[in-house]
Amino acid sequence: MRIPPKYKITSDIVKIISEIDSYQKLFSNLDIPKILKEKIQRTSLLKSSLYSARIEGNLLTLDELRNTKKTIAKTEILNISKAYSHLEKVKNIKIDHKFIKNIHQLVLNKISPDAGNFRKEASAIFNEAGIAIYFSPIPERIKEYLDTLIRYIYDDKEKFPLIKAFITHLIFEKIHPFIDGNGRTGRLLVSAVLKLEKYNISLMIPFDQYLDNYKSDYYHYLSEGLKNPEAYLIFMLNGYLQESIKIAEEIKRNLNKKETLYLTPRLEEILNTIKDHKIVTLDFIKRRFLKVPGRTLRYDLKKLQNLKLIIKIGKTKGSYYTSLSP
């Protein structure tokens, strides 16, 4: 396997990267209120985790994730979320065998006994019909190939961080170093390379949703990536661009809605609960937030009243709350 594969930086590739860079500059220069930025980051982290798991067949929805008891499906998503959070917190990132194993350990924690261990048996990638379409390298060559990939990551010949990140993902999936969890780990590796290159430092771009929406294309371009890396790169870059545009639109939309600038995650969830159910009582809110003390919830409701986002009707225990905005 040639690492990296031969690829050309075409005019189409440069054009897409230029568009993405313009959004990166926008995110860096825009005066985004801290609470709004944190909200967008939380949403991006959740989306990346949810859709990265969905690409692999996890069908849990956002509502089910919030309300369901712990299952393997929920653990899969929470594990990815913890891995992304871990990446965010690491200050001086060092990508090596230990780092890759650690990410995999986080991804498959409490799911697989092979978490954090390179495979020791032959592996193949199968299509939907169960036919092997790619045979992964033998286990004895995994460390050798990963060493070559890591040298590419740290080589400064490739000047475009996004290209380096996506080529890294492509090669990692071809090496297929683990029995399971390669896709989830490989997509996390994209974020790791971008962080190493000090790219995408303003806001996380959750492009896993795009990959899930176009899953068959994603698998196609991954499959053909070594033969036609330019087409693979254009697909991945387009996904990153589309999700960057969505983030920019979300920022604009939220900046025009003053209410979102003042709300903590719990306050926002309480407000959305009231909006969804039109009229609610304190007892109803308590049942939705079982781990939050009643006194704290009363304080939260009072704060929403002071912000003129909800009103309280009645003065007795039978009083209820309704939203002032649709």
The residues with which 134 forms a beta bridge, in sequence order, are 125
318 carries a ligand binding annotation: no
187 carries a ligand binding annotation: yes
**CA gap 128, 256 in Å, rounded:** 45
Residue 277 bears catalytic tag: no
Tell me the two tokens of residue 194. Answer: 């971008």
239 carries a ligand binding annotation: no
299 carries a ligand binding annotation: no
12 carries a ligand binding annotation: no
| 103 within 8 A of 185, measured Cβ to Cβ | yes
Distances (CA, A) of 97 to 146, 149, 162, 317: 8, 11, 21, 60
H/E run at residue 132: strand 132-135
Nearest partner of 194 among 226, 236, 246, 234, judged by Cα? 236
H/E run at residue 42: helix 34-55
314 carries a ligand binding annotation: no
What angle (nearest 5°) sits at the alpha carbon of residue 67, between those of residues 252 and 293? 90
**229-255 vs 215-223: helix axis angle to the nearest 10?**
150
218 carries a ligand binding annotation: yes
**CA gap 189, 168 in Å, rounded:** 8
Nearest partner of 74 among 44, 92, 98, 50, judged by Cα? 50
The length of the chain, given as a count of residues: 326
**CA gap 325, 60 in Å, rounded:** 30
253 carries a ligand binding annotation: no
Catalytic residue among 104, 176, 220, 277: 176
Three-state DSSP at 107 gives helix
Tell me the two tokens of residue 32. Answer: 């985004």
Pairing status of strand 320-323 against strand 310-313:
antiparallel
| 182 within 8 A of 176, measured Cβ to Cβ | yes
Nearest partner of 10 among 240, 239, 232, 230, judged by Cα? 230
The residues annotated with a catalytic role in the active site are: 176
Binding positions: 180-187, 218-219
Binding positions for ATP: 180-187, 218-219
